[in-house]
Every structure is written in C-alpha cells, then in structure tokens.
Structure 1
Amino acid sequence: MSVQAAPGRASSTGRMSGAQVRRRIAVLDPERDADEIARLSLVTLHGHDAFVYLLFTVAFMKQVAVPTMARILHRRGTGDILRHTAKRNDDTIVFFGHLLDHGPTSPVGSAWIERMNAIHAHFPLRNIDSLYTLSTLALDPHDLTAPFGVQLFSDAEREAQFRFWRGVAVGQRIADLPADRHELARWAEVYEQAEYAPSAEGREITAALIAAFGERHLPPPLRRLTPQVIAAVSPERLRRVHDLPEPNAAVRAAVASTLRAYAATVDVRRVAVDRSFVTSFGDARYGPRGPEEVGYQRGRRSVG
C-alpha cells in the first residue's frame, strides 16, 4: 500500500511535516492498517538514507554473528557481500522498498517475495535463521535507538512494523512464527545466546559492511572512526562476537547527540510523501529494474 497525502495536508510539492505524518499514523489501526503504518513510519517519516543504512548495517552484522549464516554469505570469499558490498546492500533494501511501497500481499509485493524465495532456495538456510532475520527487521529500529534515550516509534508503529514483517515472513513460508512481537523478542534473545559465536567469515563480512557505511555516509576525514560509530550503535554481545572496538566516550556522545537532535526535529522536518527506498537505493543508482534483475544471479559474476 503506498501512502497518499490526506486532502489539504500536503503541499503542492508533495511534502508534509513529520507531525502531519504522525497524526495520520495516529488515526490508523496497527492491526488492520499495518502495511500503511509501516510505510509511513519506516519510509516516509524515518527513511533518511544514512539512518536506514545504519540500521541495516547493524542488522546484517547481527545475522553474520551466527557462523552458519556467515559461511553461507561468505562463500569462501566469493560472496556478493564481500565482492560488491554496497550494491549487495542496496539490492536488499530495494526488496524491502517494494514490499513497503505496495504491501506484502499485493501483486507487486508477492512478486518480490517470490523472487526472494527463489534466491534463498539456492542456499541451505535454516528456518530458525530466517526467523532471526525477521526479528532484526521487526524489532531493531526501536531496539537499536532506544538506548540513546530517544523514542522514535510509537507503540502503534512498533506493533504495525511487527505485523508488516510477519506478513512478509508468511509469504516466505517461514514456519513457527511468533504470535506477537514480545514473544519474538524473547525467542531472539534465546537464539542469540545459543547461536552467536565468533567466526572469521562473520568478522570479514562485518569489516566490509562497516567500510561500506563509512564510504557512503561519512566524510573522508572521519572514516577512520567508522568502526567506533557502528560499535556505538551495536549491542554489547554483538561487539564481543565481532571483536569491535569499545566505543570511546566522545564518539558515543556524538552518536547520541546526533540521534537526539534527529528525534527532536522529526515533527518539524518536511518529508516527501512519495519517498521510496526503491528510488533512493535502486533507481537513482542503477536505473529501474524488475525482480529478476535484482539480487543474487546464479552463474553471473558481474553483479552485486
């Protein structure tokens, strides 16, 4: 479901304030309107490229903290995540963008989910690993930012985000889906305790992810601090697994102040009602593409 501006609420240039977006969310039901709330929350309101890329980077690092997942993605050094890190990341976010723009049960959303299923069929993914990926998507936007004293997402937004990603997981035919986000959080905690372990593959992928974030979103003089920035946002367990540096007080304070300044200006910031990850992470960089042109291409060496 794509977002439409309420009559009289958006300017002629197709922009509205964050406060207007939040008022729109407030009149929607997180169960019935989960897809629309998820898009308004994750894309329209908080779809800033650097913020999205930061959350994505840490979520990906969490997945490769599991050695079985790290080995699948590493592929003995031939994995797209090592050879074409930025494009591999962009492609995944483009998948998310199509699902958020149209909803997972729409014809467009279903086509992109089937493309994901076809890609995943090439690899020996365990159901529990797919469940954990679901947890990072559904829970991390709040869980990674709340420790800095900011409340970016209302309870209704968090509930809708869970329901949206659970709907995606249903389309992916993932089994044993938790019924609510609290159950998912408890399950993810047990999974991390059992499955997290250091691996050379996981740490190599993590280094590539951190470098890609710095190259895209930090000015050259500050790129040496990228590991510190990412470590500041990463949970302690994740830092230990990947041997990330303990973030120093200055970097932690800078990250915290940046997030708090961002949170304080959400209501007054004007955002494009038609903002889309598909455009910012896909079309603007690689041109329009269909599902078969995005992501892993078996036997083709020139893709990310």
Structure 2
Amino acid sequence: MSNALQRTRDAIQNRAAARYRHRGEIARVDDAVAITRMLGTQEFPWGITQALSFALFRTYAVPSIGELLYATGQFTEQTQKRYDDTVLLLDAPIEHGFDSPAGRAGIRRINQMHAMYDISNDDMLYVLSTFVVCPVQWVNNYEWRRLTDHEIDGLTNYYRRLGKHMAIKDIPETYADFERFYEDYERRHFAFSPKSLAVADATLDLLGTFLPYRLLPRAVVRRMSFALMDDRLLEAFGYPKPTALERNAVRGGLRARGLAIRFGARPRSEPLYGREMTQVCGYPRGYRIEELGTFAPGCPVPHGLSAVATVDPQVTKGQRTAE
C-alpha cells in the first residue's frame, strides 16, 4: 500500500473515530440523566428537540388533552410563551439533575400546573410515552446514526424517573412496553376535535416563525409538516394526506442532513441546552424557573419563593446567578 493511500485511509479512520466519540463515551455511562443530557445536548441536539416538539404535537390528537389545552387559551393565544416554558421546564432536570434546586423547581412547576386540572393518569402516561418513543423513532429515522440499546435504555429510564416525580402510576418498565402502550393508546383515543385542531394549527403557525421555515411561505411549511405526519395523526386532525413526492422529498431531506453530519461534521464539544436555542426567544432578560408556566387565577407569580434558578442571558454559557 502506498504512503498516500495509507495516509488517506488513516485520515478516514480518524475522522470516523472522532465522529463516534460521544457514542463511546455514552457507552461507559450508567446514569440515565447523563445519558439523556449527552444525547440531547451534544450528540443529537437538533433532532431530539424536533422529536420532543413533535411528541407534544401528537398529544393534541387525543381530544381530552387537546381540548383541555384549548380551554386554557395558552396554546392558541400565547403559543410562543407556552413553547418556551415547556422547553425550559423540561430542560431543567436534564441540565441540572433531578436533585438540584433547578431540577426540583422545574418538576414542581410542572406538577403545580397539572394539579390545576382534572387530568387522567392514562393521559399523563400517554404524554410520557411520547417523550420516550418519539425521540427514538426520530433519531433512528433521520439522524446520522441510530441509537444503541444502551442509549434507548438510558432515555427510557430517565423518563421513567421523571414520571415517578410526577406521581404517574403504572409506568412501563421497558422501551418496548412504552411503545406498545403508545401505539395502543393512539389507536383507541385519536379522534377529530375542532378545539384540538385549533391548538395544532396554532403550533404549526409558530413553527413558521422559526428559521429556516420563516423564509418559506406558510402553506409550504404546513405541507412540509404534513409530510412528516403518519396517516393516523393526519386523520385525527383532518389534515390532507401529502403526496408520495412530498413525503419522499421532506423525509429524504432529513436523511440527507444526517448523512452530511456523519461524513462532514465534527462532534459538538460543548452542550447546547434548550435555553440557548434560537426558538426559545421569549425571555431576553432572563427568567426564573419558579415563575414559568401558568398559575391559578389571582396568583400570577408565586411570591415568597426564593429564586432557585435565575438565568441571565448575558451570563456566559454554563454559569448561573442565584438570588
């Protein structure tokens, strides 16, 4: 073998080893929080963010969920705020851990909001199942590599722990159990509701404000979104079924992005948290976790609570200020 050919071969092997560096690091980690953090902030930050957004979107197709969200008015009248708050609250335990002040504050706020409404355990469990199943399906379909069994177990165990903190009962033990519950629940409960459709349309409108989608006509963004939806979801919302060409173009474009990352991008050296993403834009002056979300009438802000996580957007990455 010539020296030039050997150098080329070595360069390819070195690039491949660098590209898969995080996978090797994750394989040596047993902590579910650390695995979920590495997958969501370094290995697949864009893909898992899209998957979790899509997971929440799917839940609107269950009328008991979609109609409740419509009744709050938050998802149709303050869509950006609800998007931001959801990302920030779910991100707190991932970034800081369940036992940190910020992680506890995020979960407490989620539980306080849910306690204001009569939500069944099954609906709560279905939402949790989308957080488990949708990221795995998205990454395996569109990202630059598939998840390993160890990574899937880590994600599953993270959300099992989140569910326990939310007092959800009868949480499945394994990913396969979650997937069966998810499929069965959608088959039994997906149905058309005008109120659920209004929430879904407001969410698609918000998508059109994010880059690069805001550079495209709204109708094009909607058709692209439809191309990523399965027939069960399309039918539940009464959305038109996309053509095979549309589906192949949109899904093929996502797979092409994955290939480009595999062969041309370096692994992310620094984590990218939800609060740092351009889509989360409602708190340019920072935020306090215990003031995110919605509150019962007459109590818009939980006065008297200490600020466990005040985030200043001017503070450098990874630093926090606490009052």
Question: What is the CA–CA distance in structure 2 between the aligned matches of 1:247 and 1:283, rounded to whole Å?
Answer: 31
- TM-score, with length taken from structure 2: 0.79
TM superposition shift of 1:156? 1.7
Matched, 1:116 2:103: no
CA–CA distance in structure 1, aligned partners of residues 92 and 219 of structure 2: 34
2:248 is paired with a residue whose SS is helix
- How far apart in 2 are the matches of 1:73 and 1:198? 15
State the Cα distance separating 1:97 from its structure 2 match: 1.4
Residue 157 to residue 132, structure 1, CA distance change in 2 (3 Å): same
Name whichever of 134-143 and 283-292 sits farther off: 283-292
Indicate if the aligned counterparts of 2:48 and 2:138 stay in contact, CA closer than 8 A: no
Aligned residue among 271, 276, 288 for 2:273: 276
* Consecutive aligned runs of 4 or more in structure 1 exceeding 6 Å deviation: 300-303
Paired residues of 2:294 and 2:300 also in contact (CA < 8 A): no
SS in 1 for 2:119: coil
TM-fit CA distance, 1:300: 7.2
Which consecutive residues of structure 1, in runs of 5 or more, have no partner in the other structure? 1-16
* Higher relative contact order, chain-length normalized (CA < 8 Å, sep 6+): 1
Distance 1:138-1:178 versus aligned 2 partners, 3 A rule: same
- TM-score normalised by the chain length of structure 1: 0.83
RMSD: 2.6
Give the AA of the match of 1:67: P
- Greater Rg by CA: 2
Paired AA for residue 28 in structure 2: V
Structure 1 partner of 2:200: 206
1:263 CA displacement: 2.0
Instruction: Kindly provide the amino acid, as one letter, of the partner of residue 96 in structure 2.
Output: H
Which letter maps to 1:116? I
Secondary structure of the equivalent of 2:268?
strand
Task: Return the letter of the residue paired with 2:129.
Answer: S
Residue 294 of structure 1, aligned match among 292, 317, 320: 292
Alpha-carbon offset, residue 245 of structure 1: 2.1
Q: Check 1:105–1:295 CA distance in 2 against 1; reply closer, same or farther (3 A cut).
A: same
C-alpha distance in 2 between matches for 1:250 and 1:54:
22
| Identity rate, percent | 26
Q: Secondary structure at the match of 1:254?
A: helix
1:173 Cα deviation after fit? 0.8
Instruction: Give the gaps of 5 or more residues in structure 2.
Output: 1-17, 302-323
Letter of the 2:297 counterpart: G
Q: What are the Cα deviations for residues 15-59 of structure 1, in whole angstroms up to 9, with x where unaligned?
A: xx6532222112223xxx1111111112222112xx455323421
Q: Which residue of 2 aligns with 1:252?
A: 247
Alignment correspondent of 2:231: 236
| Equivalent in the alignment of 2:182 | 188
Q: Deviations over 1:109-168 (max 9, x none)?
A: 122111111111111111111101111111101224545697442222211111111111
Aligned residues between the structures: 281
